[in-house]
Amino acid sequence: MNQFPPSHLNGIKIALISGPGRALSQSPPVGLGYLAASLRAGGGAVRIFDFKRLDLDHQALFRALIAWKPDLVGLTAVTCDMAALPALVREIRRASRGVPIVLGGAHATALPERSLDDTGVDVVVRGEGELVLPALVARLVSEREPPDDVPGLVFRRGGRIICTPPAPVIKELDRLPTPAWDLIPPSAYSRFTMQLYKRRDIVAPILTSRGCPFTCSFCASTVHGKRLRLRSPEAVGDEIELLHREHGVGEFLILDDNFTFRRRHALAICDEIIGRDLDIIWKMPQGMRIDNVDDELIARMKRAGCYEVGFGIESGNQALLTSLKKDLDLAIVREKLRLVKSHGIGIYGFFMIGLPGETPETLDDTFQMMLAGFDHISLAFCVPYPGSQLFADFVAQHGAGRDWRRYAHHNVFPELSGLSERELRRFWQRSIIKFYLHPRRMLSLLAKLRSVPLGTTMRLVTTYLGLGRAGGR
């Protein structure tokens, strides 16, 4: 497991699948891009079949998958899409008898044994797969039996479940090959891009680090773990330049869990972009820590092309944040927002309602915080996602249930807060309406929606109106 890249996959055909979902937007599955590049480095032949693509006929995509006759199939899906995965696994088994099927991703990492039972796959891979999957593929295809000396695996043998030791995290990210962007071309995803709005025609996600050392109880970031690992600024710059020059990417989405945790690293990446004199812009749809903001950092980000940042505030009530282990002092928020705005960078705020301990008073605190200076907001219902401490606490009291479709940010878990679903949905709808009735915010929203296809805009409006109705799904 120490060798990278492997060199034993000659002739093996691997199909990597992003499972079907119901999102209104899409993004190149960069995680599968990394896996594909790692498998290719060992001589494997790889194709990616993305069932989350909004512009593809899924039946035709499935026929193309089967016609290619892969030697092994690898799957991934987020929690709310897991309900659709068993049917896809059954269809693959019927059409490609004897082909091993492997499952990975955040949900599978959090609940490997249940994922094995729920989906009927042969093997579950826990954690980062770039080193594990090539070793597993070679053995599973040749021996038709999951190996018990490859770390990070869960599988059945003789009626019992085998869990091999956890795979070590990948410490040197620069040793990973560049994602196989030719298999997930950004231009194919840019019509319905993440967050829907954009400023450039072609958009691509990029990672500059993995892991986050914070311990927020609602966070379910299980694949990359708590240890923060950084790509070198030069490697990040090389990938940005490749995507810009070879794929026409003009806008980037930095998807790090914590881009600014290492301030010097964030500054160095900005300097790398500036030094290459690339005509690009970027934003951070996953958000960044507001307590890491300072004048020098924001000025450098602006100069490097950053036009919008997101901040995960979650709640306007300090006691609730403390109970969630969200290490944030709300007293600094307004000052930091003014600083960012002084540099002409837009601000997106992430908030949740229905938190443990939520009351009508704490909901009002959250609404007042939304008005502190954010240009746009994302208001979601608190969901106990698998892999989080919140999920462990929830299961201990209520059980996980059998329907993973419930585990999506637009669904209410009244068991968490004690407030009724009707109360939370009414607050949600009224808050969204009040926030965007402000002329400046309304005009800003309409300007952004100009880049969104009309049909998508109508589905978005319909969805949002539906979320405000009690019992809406």
Q: How far is CA 365 from the centre of its chain?
A: 28
Whole-number pLDDT of residue 373? 93
**Could you tell me the CA-to-CA distances from 264 to 231, 238, 251, 300, 302 in Å, in that order?**
13, 19, 23, 11, 16
Measured in degrees and rounded to the nearest 5, phi and psi for residue 160 equal -120, 155
Whole-number pLDDT of residue 458? 65
Q: CA–CA separation, 277 vs 280, rounded Å? A: 9
Residues in the chain where the model's pLDDT stays below 70: 1-7, 449, 451-473
Whole-number pLDDT of residue 470? 44
Domain 13-163, CATH homologous superfamily name and number: Cobalamin-binding domain (3.40.50.280)
Strand-pairing partners, residue 254, are: 206
Tokens of 108: 């599978």
Q: Please, are residues 187 and 248 in contact by the beta-carbon 8 Å criterion? A: yes
Whole-number pLDDT of residue 193? 83
Q: H-type helices in 176-304, by residue range?
A: 233-247, 263-276, 295-303
In what side-by-side order are the strands of the sheet with 72-76?
45-50, 13-18, 72-76, 101-104, 123-125, 153-157, 160-163
Whole-number pLDDT of residue 134? 94
Query: How many other CB atoms sit within 10 Å of the CB of residue 408?
Result: 19
Every domain of the chain with CATH number 3.80.30.20 lies at: 185-467
Q: H-type helices in 69-151, by residue range?
A: 85-95, 106-110, 112-119, 132-143
Q: Which amino acid is at 307?
A: Y
Q: How many residues does the chain have?
A: 473
Q: What angle do CA 303, 305, 308 make, to 5 degrees?
A: 110
Q: HSE-up of 276 (CA within 13 Å, CB side)?
A: 22
Angle of the 263-276 helix axis to the 233-247 helix axis, nearest 10: 40
E strand or H helix at 59 = helix 58-68
**Range 185-467 has CATH code 3.80.30.20:** yes
Is the CA virtual torsion 328, 332, 337, 340 positive or negative?
negative
pTM of the full structure: 0.93
Every domain of the chain with CATH number 3.40.50.280 lies at: 13-163
